[in-house]
Amino acid sequence: MPMAKEEEKIQVDGTIVEALPGTQFKVRLDNGHEVLAYLSGRMRKYYIRILLGDRVRVEMSPYDLTRGRIVYRQKKTSEGIVEEEF
């Protein structure tokens, strides 16, 4: 079965709520849904650590909206607040 094309994938942001074995995580999406997501190969290769409460971007297939792949961890400042300049 061929993989979904790049333009067919859905990207949504969410927050890590639970860490599971095998580099899998439960992610609460911004729309309130919870999905089971695994760490992408590139993130695993470069040892990018994911912790509870981290904001992440999840890539999902339109055919199965209960599972996804974590493709990006958003950066936080030391205080956890994004600073704005005026």
Q: What is the DSSP string of 25-75?
A: EEEEETTS-EEEEEE-HHHHHTT----TT-EEEEEEETTEEEEEEEEEE--
Q: With respect to residue 80, please indicate whether it lies within any of the assigned structural domains.
A: no
What CATH number is associated with residue 46? 2.40.50.140
Question: What average pLDDT does the segment 52-68 reach?
Answer: 96
> What's the total number of domains in the chain?
1
Q: Is residue 39 part of a domain?
A: yes
Residue 65 covered by a domain: yes
Whether 49 is in a domain gets the answer yes
Among the ranges given (3-7, 12-16, 40-44, 51-55), the one the predictor scored with the smallest mean pLDDT: 3-7
| 19-59 pLDDT per residue, tens | 999 999 999 999 999 999 999 999 999 999 999 999 999 99
Range of the domain at 25: 6-73
